[in-house]
Amino acid sequence: MAWEPEPGWLSVPGGSGPSTVGVWRTEQGGQPLAVKRLARPVPGDPPELSDPTHFAYWRREADVAESGLTRSTPGLRGPVIAVEEDAAGITLTSDWVEEAGTNGLFVAHALGRFAAADLGDRRWLARDLLRRRVARVEHRGGWPTLARTSAADLADSLWSRREHFLQQYGALPLVAHHGDVAATNLRGREGDLVLAIDWQSLGVGPIGTDLGLHMASAREAPEPLLDAYLIGLVESGASAVATADQVRLGARIVAAYTAVSRAEWALARVATGEGALAAKFRHPSVAPYLRNLERVAEEIDALLQP
Protein backbone atom coordinates (compact mmCIF):
# COMPACT_ATOMS: atom_id res chain seq x y z
CA MET A 1 0.00 0.00 0.00
CA ALA A 2 1.33 3.45 -0.93
CA TRP A 3 2.54 5.70 1.88
CA GLU A 4 0.11 8.43 2.93
CA PRO A 5 0.11 11.02 5.76
CA GLU A 6 -2.05 10.17 8.73
CA PRO A 7 -5.49 11.80 9.05
CA GLY A 8 -5.23 14.95 11.13
CA TRP A 9 -1.65 15.79 10.19
CA LEU A 10 -1.31 19.46 9.29
CA SER A 11 0.61 20.19 6.10
CA VAL A 12 3.14 22.99 6.63
CA PRO A 13 5.47 24.91 4.30
CA GLY A 14 9.03 23.72 3.93
CA GLY A 15 11.05 20.95 2.46
CA SER A 16 11.03 22.03 -1.17
CA GLY A 17 13.76 19.60 -2.24
CA PRO A 18 13.20 17.45 -5.33
CA SER A 19 12.69 14.30 -3.24
CA THR A 20 10.42 15.87 -0.61
CA VAL A 21 6.83 14.63 -0.70
CA GLY A 22 5.74 16.96 2.09
CA VAL A 23 6.16 18.17 5.67
CA TRP A 24 3.50 17.88 8.36
CA ARG A 25 2.97 18.90 11.96
CA THR A 26 1.34 16.46 14.35
CA GLU A 27 1.30 15.60 18.04
CA GLN A 28 2.02 12.60 20.20
CA GLY A 29 1.19 12.68 23.87
CA GLY A 30 0.80 16.46 23.64
CA GLN A 31 4.29 16.84 22.16
CA PRO A 32 4.35 18.61 18.76
CA LEU A 33 6.23 16.67 16.11
CA ALA A 34 7.45 17.33 12.58
CA VAL A 35 7.12 14.60 9.95
CA LYS A 36 8.91 14.77 6.61
CA ARG A 37 8.54 12.29 3.78
CA LEU A 38 11.25 11.66 1.18
CA ALA A 39 10.57 9.74 -2.03
CA ARG A 40 13.08 7.20 -3.32
CA PRO A 41 14.26 7.99 -6.88
CA VAL A 42 12.68 5.98 -9.70
CA PRO A 43 13.89 5.35 -13.24
CA GLY A 44 13.81 8.58 -15.23
CA ASP A 45 14.49 10.85 -12.24
CA PRO A 46 17.51 13.24 -12.45
CA PRO A 47 20.76 11.33 -11.81
CA GLU A 48 21.90 13.83 -9.16
CA LEU A 49 19.26 12.44 -6.77
CA SER A 50 21.35 9.28 -6.55
CA ASP A 51 24.75 11.03 -6.37
CA PRO A 52 25.89 11.05 -2.70
CA THR A 53 28.07 14.13 -3.28
CA HIS A 54 25.39 16.25 -5.00
CA PHE A 55 23.45 18.76 -2.91
CA ALA A 56 20.21 17.21 -4.21
CA TYR A 57 21.07 13.66 -3.02
CA TRP A 58 17.72 12.27 -1.99
CA ARG A 59 18.52 10.55 1.31
CA ARG A 60 21.14 12.84 2.87
CA GLU A 61 18.81 14.01 5.65
CA ALA A 62 18.28 10.40 6.70
CA ASP A 63 22.03 9.74 6.62
CA VAL A 64 22.65 12.83 8.76
CA ALA A 65 20.00 11.74 11.24
CA GLU A 66 21.29 8.17 11.51
CA SER A 67 24.88 9.35 11.99
CA GLY A 68 23.95 11.63 14.91
CA LEU A 69 26.49 14.03 13.43
CA THR A 70 24.59 17.27 14.11
CA ARG A 71 23.73 16.55 17.73
CA SER A 72 27.04 17.94 19.00
CA THR A 73 28.29 20.33 16.31
CA PRO A 74 29.34 23.87 17.33
CA GLY A 75 27.08 26.81 16.49
CA LEU A 76 24.32 24.83 14.78
CA ARG A 77 22.56 21.76 16.13
CA GLY A 78 19.94 19.52 14.60
CA PRO A 79 17.01 17.85 16.36
CA VAL A 80 17.03 14.13 17.06
CA ILE A 81 15.25 12.49 14.12
CA ALA A 82 13.72 9.03 13.92
CA VAL A 83 14.18 7.36 10.53
CA GLU A 84 11.75 4.84 9.04
CA GLU A 85 12.61 3.47 5.62
CA ASP A 86 10.45 1.45 3.23
CA ALA A 87 10.50 0.45 -0.42
CA ALA A 88 9.10 3.79 -1.60
CA GLY A 89 11.04 6.22 0.55
CA ILE A 90 11.89 7.46 4.03
CA THR A 91 9.83 9.05 6.82
CA LEU A 92 11.67 11.40 9.20
CA THR A 93 10.09 12.29 12.56
CA SER A 94 11.47 14.79 15.08
CA ASP A 95 10.39 17.23 17.76
CA TRP A 96 8.86 20.36 16.28
CA VAL A 97 11.38 23.24 16.38
CA GLU A 98 9.59 26.43 17.37
CA GLU A 99 10.44 29.72 15.69
CA ALA A 100 12.76 31.69 17.99
CA GLY A 101 13.02 34.92 15.99
CA THR A 102 16.82 34.96 16.04
CA ASN A 103 18.40 37.95 14.30
CA GLY A 104 20.84 37.78 11.41
CA LEU A 105 23.92 38.66 13.47
CA PHE A 106 23.24 35.86 15.95
CA VAL A 107 22.88 33.45 13.03
CA ALA A 108 26.09 34.68 11.35
CA HIS A 109 27.98 34.17 14.61
CA ALA A 110 26.61 30.62 14.86
CA LEU A 111 27.57 29.91 11.25
CA GLY A 112 31.14 31.01 11.97
CA ARG A 113 31.33 28.56 14.84
CA PHE A 114 29.77 25.78 12.76
CA ALA A 115 32.47 26.18 10.11
CA ALA A 116 34.87 24.52 12.57
CA ALA A 117 32.74 21.36 12.83
CA ASP A 118 34.56 18.12 12.03
CA LEU A 119 32.19 16.23 9.70
CA GLY A 120 34.67 13.50 8.89
CA ASP A 121 35.00 11.98 5.44
CA ARG A 122 31.49 10.59 5.00
CA ARG A 123 30.64 9.65 1.42
CA TRP A 124 27.26 11.40 1.51
CA LEU A 125 28.49 14.90 2.38
CA ALA A 126 27.65 17.47 -0.32
CA ARG A 127 30.54 18.80 -2.41
CA ASP A 128 30.92 21.52 -5.08
CA LEU A 129 27.65 23.12 -3.98
CA LEU A 130 28.04 26.51 -5.67
CA ARG A 131 29.50 25.17 -8.92
CA ARG A 132 26.64 22.71 -9.23
CA ARG A 133 24.04 25.39 -8.52
CA VAL A 134 25.59 27.67 -11.13
CA ALA A 135 25.57 24.72 -13.57
CA ARG A 136 21.80 24.42 -13.05
CA VAL A 137 21.39 28.10 -13.89
CA GLU A 138 23.58 27.63 -16.95
CA HIS A 139 21.41 24.70 -18.07
CA ARG A 140 18.37 27.00 -17.88
CA GLY A 141 20.09 29.63 -20.03
CA GLY A 142 21.68 31.94 -17.48
CA TRP A 143 19.93 35.16 -16.41
CA PRO A 144 17.97 36.32 -19.51
CA THR A 145 15.23 38.14 -17.61
CA LEU A 146 17.68 40.36 -15.75
CA ALA A 147 19.11 41.32 -19.14
CA ARG A 148 15.90 43.35 -19.59
CA THR A 149 16.46 45.37 -16.41
CA SER A 150 18.80 48.07 -15.11
CA ALA A 151 20.86 45.26 -13.55
CA ALA A 152 21.76 43.92 -17.01
CA ASP A 153 25.38 45.13 -17.05
CA LEU A 154 26.09 43.88 -13.55
CA ALA A 155 24.52 40.49 -14.31
CA ASP A 156 26.37 40.17 -17.61
CA SER A 157 29.73 40.97 -16.01
CA LEU A 158 29.15 38.47 -13.24
CA TRP A 159 27.92 35.77 -15.61
CA SER A 160 30.71 36.16 -18.17
CA ARG A 161 33.32 35.84 -15.41
CA ARG A 162 31.69 32.95 -13.59
CA GLU A 163 34.48 30.45 -14.26
CA HIS A 164 37.07 32.93 -12.98
CA PHE A 165 35.21 33.44 -9.72
CA LEU A 166 34.35 29.75 -9.30
CA GLN A 167 38.04 28.92 -9.56
CA GLN A 168 38.93 31.59 -6.99
CA TYR A 169 36.20 30.26 -4.72
CA GLY A 170 37.27 26.64 -5.18
CA ALA A 171 40.83 27.44 -4.10
CA LEU A 172 39.73 28.64 -0.63
CA PRO A 173 40.13 26.49 2.51
CA LEU A 174 37.40 23.89 3.00
CA VAL A 175 35.10 23.91 6.03
CA ALA A 176 31.73 22.51 7.10
CA HIS A 177 28.58 24.11 5.68
CA HIS A 178 24.86 23.67 6.31
CA GLY A 179 24.24 24.65 2.69
CA ASP A 180 20.65 25.95 2.98
CA VAL A 181 20.64 28.74 5.53
CA ALA A 182 17.21 30.21 4.84
CA ALA A 183 15.59 31.75 7.92
CA THR A 184 12.94 29.01 7.85
CA ASN A 185 15.69 26.42 8.35
CA LEU A 186 17.63 28.24 11.10
CA ARG A 187 14.52 28.71 13.18
CA GLY A 188 15.21 27.61 16.75
CA ARG A 189 17.51 28.59 19.58
CA GLU A 190 19.00 26.79 22.55
CA GLY A 191 21.26 29.06 24.56
CA ASP A 192 24.00 30.25 22.22
CA LEU A 193 23.15 27.59 19.62
CA VAL A 194 20.89 27.80 16.57
CA LEU A 195 18.57 24.81 16.18
CA ALA A 196 18.56 24.08 12.47
CA ILE A 197 16.37 21.86 10.34
CA ASP A 198 16.57 20.62 6.74
CA TRP A 199 20.13 19.30 6.56
CA GLN A 200 19.64 18.25 2.94
CA SER A 201 22.73 20.19 1.75
CA LEU A 202 25.10 19.46 4.64
CA GLY A 203 28.63 19.16 3.36
CA VAL A 204 32.10 20.58 2.98
CA GLY A 205 32.98 23.59 0.86
CA PRO A 206 35.10 26.75 0.64
CA ILE A 207 35.12 29.09 3.63
CA GLY A 208 32.35 31.69 3.54
CA THR A 209 29.76 29.44 1.86
CA ASP A 210 27.13 29.62 4.60
CA LEU A 211 27.90 33.28 5.26
CA GLY A 212 27.39 34.16 1.60
CA LEU A 213 24.08 32.30 1.49
CA HIS A 214 23.05 34.15 4.65
CA MET A 215 24.07 37.53 3.20
CA ALA A 216 21.87 36.85 0.17
CA SER A 217 18.71 36.85 2.30
CA ALA A 218 19.46 38.47 5.69
CA ARG A 219 18.09 41.91 6.55
CA GLU A 220 21.38 43.06 8.03
CA ALA A 221 24.12 44.65 5.93
CA PRO A 222 26.93 42.36 4.76
CA GLU A 223 29.78 43.93 6.78
CA PRO A 224 28.26 43.40 10.26
CA LEU A 225 27.36 39.85 9.23
CA LEU A 226 30.99 39.25 8.23
CA ASP A 227 32.21 40.62 11.57
CA ALA A 228 29.83 38.35 13.51
CA TYR A 229 30.92 35.33 11.46
CA LEU A 230 34.61 36.07 12.06
CA ILE A 231 34.00 36.35 15.82
CA GLY A 232 32.33 32.94 15.74
CA LEU A 233 35.25 31.53 13.79
CA VAL A 234 37.69 32.84 16.40
CA GLU A 235 35.61 31.49 19.28
CA SER A 236 35.54 28.05 17.67
CA GLY A 237 39.32 28.00 17.55
CA ALA A 238 39.29 27.80 13.75
CA SER A 239 40.50 31.30 12.92
CA ALA A 240 43.79 29.84 11.65
CA VAL A 241 41.89 27.97 8.93
CA ALA A 242 41.40 31.10 6.82
CA THR A 243 42.11 34.81 6.81
CA ALA A 244 39.39 37.46 7.00
CA ASP A 245 40.05 38.31 3.35
CA GLN A 246 39.48 34.68 2.35
CA VAL A 247 36.21 34.58 4.27
CA ARG A 248 35.15 37.86 2.64
CA LEU A 249 35.98 36.58 -0.85
CA GLY A 250 34.13 33.30 -0.40
CA ALA A 251 31.08 35.05 1.04
CA ARG A 252 31.03 37.68 -1.71
CA ILE A 253 31.14 35.11 -4.47
CA VAL A 254 28.38 32.97 -2.96
CA ALA A 255 26.20 35.99 -2.10
CA ALA A 256 26.61 37.43 -5.60
CA TYR A 257 25.65 34.33 -7.57
CA THR A 258 22.93 33.37 -5.09
CA ALA A 259 21.22 36.77 -4.96
CA VAL A 260 21.33 37.29 -8.73
CA SER A 261 20.08 33.77 -9.48
CA ARG A 262 17.19 34.17 -7.05
CA ALA A 263 16.25 37.55 -8.54
CA GLU A 264 16.27 36.00 -12.01
CA TRP A 265 14.10 33.12 -10.83
CA ALA A 266 11.57 35.45 -9.21
CA LEU A 267 11.36 37.79 -12.21
CA ALA A 268 11.13 34.97 -14.75
CA ARG A 269 8.00 33.63 -13.05
CA VAL A 270 6.08 36.88 -13.63
CA ALA A 271 7.76 38.09 -16.84
CA THR A 272 5.34 36.35 -19.19
CA GLY A 273 2.28 38.12 -17.77
CA GLU A 274 0.71 41.24 -19.22
CA GLY A 275 2.38 44.62 -18.72
CA ALA A 276 5.91 45.96 -18.66
CA LEU A 277 8.50 44.04 -16.69
CA ALA A 278 9.42 47.11 -14.61
CA ALA A 279 5.84 47.30 -13.37
CA LYS A 280 6.27 43.91 -11.75
CA PHE A 281 9.24 44.81 -9.57
CA ARG A 282 6.91 45.48 -6.64
CA HIS A 283 5.05 42.22 -7.00
CA PRO A 284 5.10 40.48 -3.58
CA SER A 285 6.74 37.40 -5.06
CA VAL A 286 9.51 39.51 -6.66
CA ALA A 287 10.20 42.52 -4.43
CA PRO A 288 11.96 40.63 -1.58
CA TYR A 289 14.48 39.13 -4.00
CA LEU A 290 15.20 42.50 -5.60
CA ARG A 291 15.71 44.06 -2.16
CA ASN A 292 18.15 41.28 -1.31
CA LEU A 293 20.00 41.93 -4.57
CA GLU A 294 20.23 45.65 -3.72
CA ARG A 295 21.58 44.78 -0.27
CA VAL A 296 24.54 42.88 -1.72
CA ALA A 297 25.08 45.15 -4.73
CA GLU A 298 28.14 46.80 -3.17
CA GLU A 299 29.64 43.36 -2.52
CA ILE A 300 29.12 42.47 -6.17
CA ASP A 301 30.65 45.76 -7.28
CA ALA A 302 33.69 45.10 -5.09
CA LEU A 303 34.00 41.63 -6.57
CA LEU A 304 33.94 42.99 -10.12
CA GLN A 305 36.58 45.64 -9.53
CA PRO A 306 39.75 45.10 -11.64
Residue 300: predicted pLDDT = 96
The confidence score (pLDDT) of residue 306 equals: 76
What's the pLDDT at 14? 73
Segments of the chain scoring below 50 in pLDDT: none
pLDDT at 276: 81
Right CATH for 10-95 from 3.30.43, 3.30.200, 3.30.310, 3.30.2320: 3.30.200
Sorted by sequence, the CB contacts under 8 Å of residue 139 that are 6+ apart come out as: none
All CATH 3.90.1200.10 domain ranges of the chain, comma separated, are 104-304
Q: Over the stretch 83-112, which tens digit does the pLDDT of each residue have?
A: 999 999 999 999 999 999 899 999 999 999
CATH numeric code, 104-304: 3.90.1200.10
Domain with CATH 3.30.200 in the chain: 10-95
CA distance linking residue 180 with residue 209, whole number of Å: 10
Helix axes 297-304, 244-270, angle to 10 degrees: 120
Count other Cβ atoms within 10 Å, centred on residue 151: 22
Q: What is the DSSP string of 247-286?
A: HHHHHHHHHHHHHHHHHHHHHHHHTTSSS-GGGGTT-TTT
Nearest to 299 by CA among 137, 165, 163: 165
User: Which pLDDT does position 15 carry in this prediction?
Assistant: 67
The pLDDT score that the predictor gives to residue 239 is 83
φ/ψ of 58, rounded to 5, equals -65, -35
pTM: 0.95
3-state secondary structure of 16: coil
